[in-house]
Amino acid sequence: MIKAGIAGAAGYTGGELIRILVNHPDVSLAFCQSQSQAGKNVSDVHSGLFGLHQKFSADILDADVLFFCMGHGRSKMLMQEMKFNPNTKIIDLSHDFRIKGGHDFIYGLPELQRDKIIGATHIANPGCFATSIELALLPMAAQHRILNAVHVHGITGSTGAGQSLSETSHFSWRNNNISIYKAFSHQHLTEIRQTLKQVDDEFIVPIHFVPVRGNFTRGILSSIYFESDLSEDDVKQLYKDYYSDHPFVHIIDQNPDIKMVVNTNMCLLNIQVYSGMIHIISVIDNLIKGASGQAVQNMNLMFGLPEATGLNLKSTVF
């Protein structure tokens, strides 16, 4: 059994990780750490885990794999302050190590570099919007087929903002309301460009990204379009070939909606071509494929398990 621990287990991603790991056939959940909730029952904070008789610990303990589910900046501090066993694998769900330079973390998008993840000790889990957009663009970028500006309109649920309260995360503000934020300046843009340049070192086209706060709790829908001279059949075949051995990305003909992927580790892609314009709809659950599920997917690869172990989750359509 893989002995797993979670640092920062009281937040949304920590709660989702607990839910997945307690049902994982090859994992023993050694500890759930939270300074703010230390001593409390996990199920008192994560009510959906009622019946789990485990308490939050104040300290980070020994484990075969550590998941960092802390706020941005805290993982980097922890790596500097603590001495971890060199054999302990670390999967960080924050932004701290996603951009290359000055560290040994491998970017954990399995559909991009599965082989490097298999041999890695430290993994930087991708961002949620980045995952949705990268999976929609990778096959075309890998064939050097993105030659014109990319336009992205993406909407995300309130859980993407984390548990800390702010004016725009209160129910009274979010309910019956949507708004644009960080237009053309979202922090995931650097991460997305880095990923696309990894498969196309000449990728220089602008990415115009306008994110939207949705009036729902979880899920991301990204609407992406750019010019191309490929036919619809050719584009769809290109995507099917690229993702043929990746279990969680599916090319579908029906118009996807967020409920089709909520509570799953899937990414659904719908591709249409309109008069020389490719339109791709990408939907994921921001807390699963965009965070905790992808982290477990990376763990499976790092420990030599089948990639989908513990991740055959059913969507909650109704």
Per-residue pLDDT of the chain (318 residues; tens, 9 = 90+): 999 999 999 999 999 999 999 999 999 999 999 999 999 999 999 999 998 989 999 999 999 999 999 988 899 999 999 889 999 999 999 999 999 999 999 999 999 999 999 999 999 999 999 999 999 999 999 999 999 999 999 999 988 765 555 677 777 788 899 999 999 999 999 999 999 999 999 999 999 999 999 999 999 999 999 999 999 999 999 999 999 999 999 999 999 999 999 999 999 999 999 999 999 999 999 999 999 999 999 999 999 999 999 999 999 888
User: Which residue(s) pair with 283 in the sheet?
Assistant: 221, 268
What is the per-residue pLDDT for 316? 86
Structure tokens at 235: 């584009």
What is the per-residue pLDDT for 174? 81
Cα 235–chain centre separation: 25
What is the per-residue pLDDT for 271? 98
154-177 exposure pattern, b = at least 16 Cβ within 10 A, e = fewer:
bbbbbbbbeeeeeeebeeeebeee
Structure tokens at 284: 């994921």
Contact criterion met (CB below 8 Å) for 212 and 178: yes
Locate the domains of the chain by residue range: 2-125+289-302, 128-286
Runs of H (alpha helix) within the chain: 12-21, 42-45, 74-81, 110-118, 128-142, 171-174, 188-199, 232-242, 293-302
What is the per-residue pLDDT for 163? 59
Structure tokens at 283: 């939907």
- Count Cβ atoms below 10 Å from residue 206 Cβ, excluding itself: 12
What is the per-residue pLDDT for 63? 97
Structure tokens at 73: 């900046």
Contact criterion met (CB below 8 Å) for 38 and 58: yes
How many angstroms separate the CA atoms of 308 and 245, rounded?
Answer: 12
What is the per-residue pLDDT for 56? 95
What is the per-residue pLDDT for 161? 60
Cα 42–chain centre separation: 23
32 part of the active site = no
What is the per-residue pLDDT for 314? 93
Q: Which CATH superfamily is domain 128-286 in?
A: Dihydrodipicolinate Reductase; domain 2 (3.30.360.10)
| CATH class of the domain defined by 2-125+289-302 | alpha beta
State which amino acid sits at residue 290: G
Q: Which bin fits 292, alpha (ψ -120 to 50), beta or left (φ > 0)?
A: alpha
